Amino acid sequence: MLFAPMLILGQSRFANFPSANRSTSPDGRFTLTNSGCVQDCKKADRTLWLTNNINGVKKGLLTIERNARIGWAPSGNTFFLNDDSGSNVAEGYLYFPAEGRRENIGDMIYQKFPGDRRFARNSHHYVNALYWIDTHTVLVKRSGHVDEAGGPEFTVCYRVTTSGEVSRLSESDKEGNPCSVE
């Protein structure tokens, strides 16, 4: 598998918040921090902050309701953030810290594949970036199940680029289908 060495070498580029206190971009330009408060926290204690290490500017990105997982691109100029905000939903985002911008990965997918919005209605729905394939491309897994009795489970894997290109890699009606790049 061509991309396995990058995944193994790049493990330090990932962090889970709120349990992690900080994560610095591979190029050292940016640092994500929080107080590390895990239980009985005030909302302010669960804010994820982005600091520009060049000019010292610190900006609040989001309040972590439950858990968030981030993964820096190898270049350090972008990171994904999976916001597990509820037991029935997870949203994935691409952040471009130098530009002060973020993109909702689910919205990027729906723009390219409008029919895939059917998975988001009346369901437990999770959009999670898994890892960076290269400095501009992330592997994304959408999974979950429809809430109605006997509703189907689903797993769909995508390749999403920082320039907004989206391609579907696989689709399965069974939860747990692994996403991989071959």
CA distances from 180 to 68, 152, 169 (A): 22, 22, 9
- Residue 92 is given by DSSP the state E
Closest CA to 47 of 70, 27, 64: 64
pTM, 2 dp? 0.82
Residues of the chain with pLDDT under 70: 1-12, 17-19, 35-45, 86-87, 117-122, 147-152, 171-178, 180-182
Confidence (pLDDT) at 173: 52
Q: State the chain's mean pLDDT as an integer.
A: 79
Q: Where are the domains of the chain?
A: 4-172
Confidence (pLDDT) at 122: 61
Confidence (pLDDT) at 26: 93
pLDDT in tens, 133-182: 999 999 999 887 776 666 667 788 999 999 999 999 876 655 455 676 65
Could you give the 3-state DSSP secondary structure of residue 112? helix
Tokens of 147: 């809430």
